[in-house]
Structure 1
């Protein structure tokens, strides 16, 4: 089965090399997203500056004969707060697309992660849904190590179908999510989704599974949806069931809303992480905020969020897309007040 998969990808790449090409179109883009945060771990608090999924990227594409197009992207994380970054650390890939859809290879978000990105009212901010959807080795929070959903897998191969009656299918295969070569394909993973999107409405269901540690093969089913009740008012929600993860199965679910008033946008969301196999290991997270848009490229915002942990849980409020995070004391509430500025170019 693996030989067949490799053969199909190799055939697509070789076919693209045999087609004459036009000159490439190159684009430089990026985002500077910083925030001034007051973070509380349940016992102490402090003031921090955080660079939140800030990036610099390069895109290029070339039209080919036969209706094909070759494309490439190189994107890296930029730490504006500490003056550092890692080359090609974010979505970086090369691929080819045409009437058949598109195929690409490299490191990039999985279809499961993409569903959350579409419905998260506070992506890369205080109160990001990833505060609850990630799972650690202890199964009682989102530690920096362990089995984690919402990943950007290494060594990925991804196929996206053309849109058919507004439906799109995505399949992402990773032979091993690690560096270097392998002979046993440990950490092999699959992620797939079916999505439906028209103006003002989006719905998707995704499934992901990978080879974990300690004889566990974590998997997750995720459903996400948003609906624009009016041009100004959007409702969104997401449900996730994670199984065969450390600590036992866990459900995460919640809703969010946003309302536009001229240059301002009010937003909030509430999410719940249920207990796993142990008692009192759940949490709920509430966050509220307001944006001020200065044109389409510059946004200033304020947000306040609280994650209320059960006695045996330590979920955060400052994780998910943020480079400065504060671990939470088990059984205590985490909170954060954030003033942010986001400039896209």
Structure 2
């Protein structure tokens, strides 16, 4: 929910600054600027408790932990725009990241920040934003609390998320159908590292929305080069670490999914995604994932339950034993724009292979409140 930032307020603030500086020529946004200026954001904070246990490849317990943390996901953004020609509006947006523990992540430009043009023909943007594929992964399928597996917990990396150096086009709505296409640089220091992606959405009979997207990338860096160096092993003996060249991979991934609005306040959503990473001169890895989410609303009260699973990744046809899953439930209440909620989740995350394999089981309890403006 966004409200127009009153230009008179901005004008008052700037006028006050002008009086303090004794400058008669200060630029007064409220009076001398006819751009449509907005400020928006989310105030969001939660307290979360983690209760976890880690085991090694033999099943022996190697670590336990419990503790709580306050997570401040508040953020703020600014938008401005003005019609340049008939049916051609130029606009911009600058959005901060989450405040976090000490504000270091809350820098302006951390989230979607771009300059664009729009009209009846669609929208073009340049800058930092979500890729078409990740936009679907993130919403509606990562909520409630499924990101540790579904969103960013996969062992095979085949898509970007929020990324800079991007050009993106979003089409208008054609009788329930719209699409997005985008391209950009991956790592600008790597020659030939470019990515391409697209998504399509189709709403059927105002009840079911279908989603599909893909993303492909060339020469994505998957590991840095290591220079030759001398060190010491665990017994204190000198040891030579040989140099290793950086590794690069060509990647491809896709997602298909749906959202359904059912009678009596019920809703259902589900998606399947798959991707691969083919290392140049090395191995090809693949991994599939799926998610299902159900929700029910009765007036201001809402309940949402979700389950997701990363299936075992495979490298040249060999399974790696790194499957993981998350099951999560959330109770919400909406009143006057405020959304207090309670979320419970069980995470079962596996990583590593062979003797380095480990499994982490964590029970998560989160209580929070959000308010958008």
TM-score, shorter chain, exceeding 0.5: yes
For structure 2, list consecutive stretches of 5 or more residues without a partner in the other structure: 1-32, 54-63, 222-246
Asked whether 1:275 is paired with 2:295, we answer no
Give the Cα–Cα distance (whole angstroms) in 1 for the partners of residues 327 and 178 of structure 2: 32
Asked if the contact 1:219/1:244 (under 8 Å) is kept, the reply is yes
Name whichever structure is richer in strand by fraction: 2
Greater Rg, structure 1 or structure 2? Answer: 2
Q: What TM-score results when the alignment is normalised by the length of structure 1?
A: 0.78
Q: What's the secondary structure of 2:250's corresponding residue? A: coil
Q: Deviations over 1:232-260 (max 9, x none)?
A: 11101111101116882111002001101
Give the Cα–Cα distance (whole angstroms) in 2 for the partners of residues 298 and 133 of structure 1: 26
Identify the residue that residue 325 of structure 2 maps to in structure 1.
284
Q: 2:36 aligns with which of 25, 33, 51?
A: 25
Cα distance, 1:165 vs. partner?
2.1
Asked if the contact 2:146/2:307 (under 8 Å) is kept, the reply is no
Higher relative contact order (CA 8 A, sep 6+): 1
Runs of 4 or more, structure 1, over 4 Å off, are 310-313
Q: Deviations over 1:10-63 (max 9, x none)?
A: xxxxxxxxxxxx9321110001221100013322111111123x3100011212
> Relative to structure 1, is the Cα distance of residues 245 and 282 closer, same or farther in structure 2, using a 3 angstrom cutoff?
farther
Asked if the contact 2:126/2:165 (under 8 Å) is kept, the reply is yes
Q: 1:298 aligns with which of 329, 333, 338?
A: 338
Q: What's the secondary structure of 1:252's corresponding residue? A: strand
Give the Cα–Cα distance (whole angstroms) in 1 for the partners of residues 98 and 170 of structure 2: 28
Paired residues, number: 292
Identify the residue that residue 216 of structure 2 maps to in structure 1.
209
Asked whether 1:166 is paired with 2:166, we answer no
Q: What's the secondary structure of 2:172's corresponding residue? A: coil
Q: 2:49 aligns with which of 34, 38, 47?
A: 38
Identify the residue that residue 309 of structure 1 maps to in structure 2.
349
Q: What TM-score results when the alignment is normalised by the length of structure 2?
A: 0.72
Cα distance, 1:303 vs. partner?
0.5
1:124-203 correspondence runs (5 A): 127-129=145-147, 131-134=149-152, 139=155, 147=157, 149=159, 151-178=161-188, 185-197=191-203, 199-203=206-210
Asked if the contact 1:32/1:80 (under 8 Å) is kept, the reply is no
Q: RMSD of the alignment, in Å?
A: 2.4
Identify the residue that residue 272 of structure 2 maps to in structure 1.
239
Give the Cα–Cα distance (whole angstroms) in 1 for the partners of residues 94 and 307 of structure 2: 34
